[in-house]
């Protein structure tokens, strides 16, 4: 593979991982590449429909079409951070409670380590349900709904209506992006509504977010920091994010 193709693949990978990338972020990520070359790369990648150029940067096509990233691709990203998040989340779990476990790669890591204890667990993640099926004590519920084959999750009207009838002690939610001006966001409107439903039905809302999601603004808003009780991160968050968490009384683990 020639250097130009290698560089452009790396650009696409960075944009897919972040969701939205500014041109200044690209310059920092590729300091040896001239601005003119980077702009040419973006133009050609846009023409090939591998990214979408926007004013001041580029967006991931995966986010725009509402896939929130292929689960198989996301499952190999930021593995140490996801494992740290899962370990911290495990300390919050209590037996004999009703828990919502979101879909996604981070939630799947948590499901893989979930203790074999008495819980009623609702999950919209097929990969989470597969991991939880190894346990004997919990009762695992998978709401009916529309299948998102990219994220291997269930969403849509039927799933939302079913979750509206459940009162959760704890909800562990994954997220596609967090931006100080937009809050927590994702790439699918129905997914956003489903998460909002779970938040309303939960006594304690725990957001699972590795630092790579910070600065990413997707199409649909889910909630703000005021709606979250605990934010679990697998790494150090920027000081401005920590300051906002303190402002809204969000515990950061």
User: Looking at residue 243, what is its pLDDT?
Assistant: 97
User: Looking at residue 21, what is its pLDDT?
Assistant: 87
User: Looking at residue 152, what is its pLDDT?
Assistant: 81
Residue environment code for 139-172, b if the CB has 16+ CB neighbours within 10 A, otherwise e: ebbbbebeebebbbbbbbeebbebbeebebbbbb
Query: What gap in Å lies between CA 168 and CA 198, rounded to an integer?
Result: 8
Helix residue ranges, H only, the chain:
3-18, 23-29, 35-47, 61-64, 71-74, 79-90, 105-112, 126-132, 157-163, 189-200, 239-247
**CB count in 10 Å sphere of residue 184:** 26
User: Looking at residue 240, what is its pLDDT?
Assistant: 95
Q: What's the pTM?
A: 0.73
Strand partners, 174: 208
User: Looking at residue 62, what is its pLDDT?
Assistant: 59
Q: Report the phi/psi class of residue 195: left, alpha or beta, with left for phi > 0 and alpha for psi in -120 to 50.
A: alpha
Residue closest to 21 by CA, chosen among 63, 74, 59: 59
Query: What gap in Å lies between CA 241 and CA 33, rounded to an integer?
Result: 30
Tell how far CA 110 is from the center of its chain. Answer: 13
Residue closest to 175 by CA, chosen among 216, 146, 203: 216
Half-sphere exposure (CA, 13 Å, Cβ side) for 11?
A: 31
Predicted confidence (pLDDT) per residue in 165-222, tens digit: 999 999 999 998 899 999 999 878 888 999 999 999 999 999 999 888 888 887 789 9
Q: What is the pLDDT along the chain (253 residues), one digit of tens a residue?
A: 578 888 888 888 788 777 788 898 888 888 889 999 999 999 999 888 788 888 888 887 755 444 444 444 554 455 788 899 999 999 999 999 999 999 988 999 999 999 999 999 999 999 999 999 999 999 999 999 888 776 788 988 999 999 999 999 999 999 988 999 999 998 788 889 999 999 999 999 999 998 888 888 877 899 999 999 999 998 889 999 999 999 999 999 9
User: Looking at residue 150, what is its pLDDT?
Assistant: 67
């Amino acid at each position: 593979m020639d250097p130009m193709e290698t560089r452009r693949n790396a650009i696409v990978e960075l944009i897919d991982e972040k969701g939205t990338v500014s041109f200044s972020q690209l310059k920092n990520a590729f300091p040896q590449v001239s601005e003119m070359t980077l702009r040419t790369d973006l133009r050609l990648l846009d023409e090939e429909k591998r990214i979408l150029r926007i004013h001041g940067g580029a967006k991931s096509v995966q986010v725009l079409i509402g896939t929130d990233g292929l689960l198989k691709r996301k499952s190999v990203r930021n593995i140490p951070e996801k494992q740290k998040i899962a370990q911290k989340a495990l300390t919050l779990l209590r037996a004999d409670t009703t828990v919502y476990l979101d879909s996604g790669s981070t939630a799947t890591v948590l499901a893989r380590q979930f203790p074999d204890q008495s819980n009623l667990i609702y999950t919209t993640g097929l990969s989470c349900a597969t991991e939880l099926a190894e346990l004997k004590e919990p009762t695992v519920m998978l709401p009916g709904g529309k299948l998102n084959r990219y994220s291997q999750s269930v969403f849509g009207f039927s799933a939302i209506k079913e979750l509206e009838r459940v009162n959760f002690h704890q909800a562990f939610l994954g997220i596609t992006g967090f931006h100080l001006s937009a809050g927590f966001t994702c790439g699918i409107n129905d997914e956003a509504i489903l998460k909002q439903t779970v938040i309303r039905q939960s006594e304690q809302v725990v957001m699972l977010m590795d630092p790579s999601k910070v600065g990413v603004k997707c199409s649909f808003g889910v909630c703000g920091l005021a709606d979250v009780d605990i934010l679990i991160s697998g790494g150090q968050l920027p000081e401005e994010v920590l300051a906002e968490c303190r402002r809204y009384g969000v515990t950061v683990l």
